[in-house]
């Protein structure tokens, strides 16, 4: 199964969400839904989970350039992380975090994974 432009693909020991080629008006909402679903996916400890929040369309730069995608994606994922009771995120690859001092998404991901850090530190 290809791990390119996919909502959920397992390639070796990696589970990937990388729906990255946005074309239709509804693709941004689809991308957000896929990213949320990947955060909520039941975890297999043998897999590394990669969740790409980035996407683009070079033929539609005013709608789907990485900055435009991040300006919609990052707040939606941040809000989702605040509402959902998730225990781990996997690796979340994103664009434009920290733009103009807004590190909220990064803080949410770190806070969500903090219990894992505390558990591993006590071992």
Asked if residue 91 belongs to a domain, the reply is yes
Helix residue ranges, H only, 1-123:
27-40, 61-64, 66-83, 104-122
**Can you give the pLDDT at residue 100?**
87
Asked if 68 and 58 count as a contact pair (C-beta separation under 8 A), the reply is: no
Residue 82 included in any domain: yes
Residue 2: inside a domain, yes or no?
no
Count other C-beta atoms under 10 Å from residue 89's C-beta. 18
* Average pLDDT per block of 10 residues along the chain, 123 residues long: 86 95 94 97 94 93 90 95 85 92 91 68 62
pLDDT in the model for residue 1: 60
In this prediction the pTM is: 0.88
Residue 38: half-sphere exposure toward Cβ, Cα within 13 Å: 30
Tell me the residue range of the domain where 117 lies: 9-122
Whose tokens are 């949410």? That residue is: 108
- Residue 56 within a domain: yes
Closest CA to 52 of 70, 67, 29, 78: 70
């Amino acid at each position: 199964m290809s791990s390119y432009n996919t909502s959920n693909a397992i390639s070796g020991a990696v589970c990937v969400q990388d729906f990255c080629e946005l074309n239709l008006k509804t693709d941004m909402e689809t991308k957000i839904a896929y990213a949320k679903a990947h955060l909520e996916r039941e975890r297999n400890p043998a897999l590394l989970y990669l969740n790409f929040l980035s996407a683009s369309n070079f033929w539609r730069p005013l709608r789907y350039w990485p900055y435009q995608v991040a300006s919609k994606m990052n707040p939606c994922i941040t809000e989702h992380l605040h509402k959902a009771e998730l225990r781990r995120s996997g690796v979340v690859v994103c664009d434009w975090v920290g733009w103009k001092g807004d590190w909220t998404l990064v803080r949410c991901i770190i806070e969500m994974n903090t219990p894992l850090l505390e558990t591993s530190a006590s071992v």
